[in-house]
Structure 1
Amino acid sequence: MIRRYGEPVLNGQAYRHRPGVYAVLLRGHDILVTHQLEPRDEFQLPGGGVDAGEHPLRALHREVFEETGWRMTRPRRLGAFRRFVFMPDYDMWAEKLCHIYLGHPVRPHGPPMEEGHTAIWMPLREAAERLGNEGDRAFVRRLAGRRR
């Protein structure tokens, strides 16, 4: 069973299945996050949706690069969680199935390509409290607890 985080499911609301991949990129005791101003000012794990026909690992590398400008290596799946949310960028209600990977940052190749994103190194414990959604925070808290 995959754990659900966030808002409850709305009765009568149709949700579109939206698989996504997200990376926890560690460097020492810091994590690479992306800061997005719109549609909501928040810190996020870099990642996003898997396009139709796209392999999830290919999507992970693409999304990390687009949102941070960094390349990554050695992704290892940590787990997954579900969220039921309205996605204003796509004007749709979605059941997001979020797959979380632990990866290693290689090096930056420039600024983020995705408009409105800023790549920021943040202490792991701070990220565990400041990330924008409960599922991301739960995975980062688990990692922070292991790194004591």
Structure 2
Amino acid sequence: MIRRMGMPPQKNRTYRLRPGAYAILPLKSRFLMTAQVTPEIDVQLPGGGIDPGESPMHALHREVMEEIGWRIAAPRRLGAFRRFVFMPEYDLWAEKLCTVYVARPVREIAPPTEPDHVTLVLSASECIENLGNDGDRLMFQRYLALLT
């Protein structure tokens, strides 16, 4: 069973399954993150939805490039969680199935192309303090626990 994070689903809502791939990207002693800056600042693990017919690995590489402009290598699965949320950019109630990987940042290629996203480089404590959802924070803390 995959752990639910955040609010339980509302009984009167229909949710569409939206699988996604996300990355923890250690860069020396810091971490690459993305912030969606509108409608308010939301710090997130880079990544996003897996398009129909797309593999999780392809989606992970594409989404990281779109959101922070970096190429990555050697992704390995850390875990997964689910969230029931409204996605205003798609006008969609979604059951987000979020699979989180740890990958090695290789090189910055370009600025983010995803609208309203900026790249952040944060310390571990800044990540824990600022990540905008409990699932991202849980996976990040799980990663840090593996290091000790």
Fold-level similarity (TM above 0.5): yes
Structure-1 residue corresponding to 2:134: 134
Structure 1: 5+ residue runs without aligned partners? none
How far residue 110 of structure 1 moved from its aligned partner, in angstroms, is: 1.4
Q: Which shifted more, 65-74 or 110-119? A: 110-119
- Residues 39 and 88 in structure 1, CA contact (< 8 A), matched pair in contact too: no
Structure-2 residue corresponding to 1:76: 76
- Residues 77 and 102 in structure 1, CA contact (< 8 A), matched pair in contact too: yes
1:54 aligns with 2:43: no
- Measured against aligned partners, the alpha-carbon deviations of 1:56-102 in whole angstroms (never above 9, x if no partner) come to 10000000000001000000001110000000000010000000000
Partner Cα distance (1:39, 1:52) in 2:
27
How far residue 6 of structure 1 moved from its aligned partner, in angstroms, is: 0.5
Give the secondary-structure state (helix, strand or coil) at the position aligned to 2:2. coil
The alignment's TM-score, normalised by the length of structure 1, stands at: 0.96
Pairwise mapping of residues 1-148 of structure 1 onto structure 2 (< 5 A)? 1-148=1-148
State percent identity of aligned pairs: 53
2:121 counterpart letter in structure 1 = W
- Residues 125 and 141 in structure 1, CA contact (< 8 A), matched pair in contact too: no
Partner Cα distance (2:44, 2:51) in 1:
19
Partner Cα distance (1:79, 1:122) in 2:
22
2:10 counterpart letter in structure 1 = L
2:68 counterpart letter in structure 1 = T
Partner Cα distance (1:3, 1:40) in 2:
27
The aligned length equals 148
Structure 2: 5+ residue runs without aligned partners? none
How far residue 39 of structure 1 moved from its aligned partner, in angstroms, is: 3.1
The alignment's TM-score, normalised by the length of structure 2, stands at: 0.96
Give the secondary-structure state (helix, strand or coil) at the position aligned to 2:57. helix
Partner Cα distance (1:142, 1:129) in 2:
15
Partner Cα distance (1:124, 1:60) in 2:
22
Give the secondary-structure state (helix, strand or coil) at the position aligned to 1:81. strand
